[in-house]
Structure 1
Amino acid sequence: MSKHSARVMAVVLGVLLCGASIGDTAALAGSSREIQEQGRAMVRDAEEMVMHGGMGDGHAILHHCAEIAKQAQAILKALPSADAHGKEAAPHLQDAIKHCKRVAEMGDKVDPGASLNPAVKARAAVKEAMKHLLAMKDGGA
């Protein structure tokens, strides 16, 4: 593994581990519109990740999965604690982070088919979370 690849892996793992440790802490809640917009960006990354995985681009899988993890962590921080739909989205966001952590552990040098399985699971978790995020309304539901 080259020094650059090792550095990229260290950064990705650091982001994932940092986010996992702060994902459960209370933070200022964002508006549902902002959360939904971030969710849409997360879904786009998930779709691109799986598309690139189907073309055999392991580096792109790793990149998009790291973006998904960052977006999921930001959404978890911004979710209003009183919103039922937000509470329902949280476990799916945590699943997406977990699957992307697995992709990061594999790295971009493995067969893209091997990292595609957790990438597809991350995409499914993102899509399920997005269903709940879209049901959110400002002021709680």
Structure 2
Amino acid sequence: MIILMGLKTGILLGAALASMAALFLAMKHLPALIDPSLAKRPVAADGSHCLSRTPAEHVGFMDALNARIDPTDRVVVTETRLGPLTEDGTHRVTVDYRFRKFSGVYTDGRATGTVRNDDCSFEIQTLER
């Protein structure tokens, strides 16, 4: 009986470790899992590899923007612009968006920040509403 319980626990632990290992390996490909259009895109000097194809937006940037805006507001990107590559390997990014407040009133806003060209990491610097 004790051997059977030990075997059962060992199997469960093995399955849990295998699941954690698979999750760890999948984290490397997380951007591609969130947005398949980001998968296997070569690094481009214009930064386009950091944007989804349709609509052209940086997924992580938009998630961070949505986190800073009232959750009852619905955000729609109207335009995303990437500046030229700078010496420090970043692009200036400007996102114009429109959001609908819970009351139904539409308001325009703009967020600016930087996006690293090599790994597509980002930082939001200003948020205008």
Question: Which structure shows the bigger proportion of residues in helix conformation?
Answer: 1
Q: Which has the higher contact order (CA 8 A, sep 6+)?
A: 1
TM-score, L = length of structure 2: 0.24
Give the number of the structure whose alpha-carbon radius of gyration is greater: 2
Question: Which structure shows the bigger proportion of residues in strand conformation?
Answer: 2
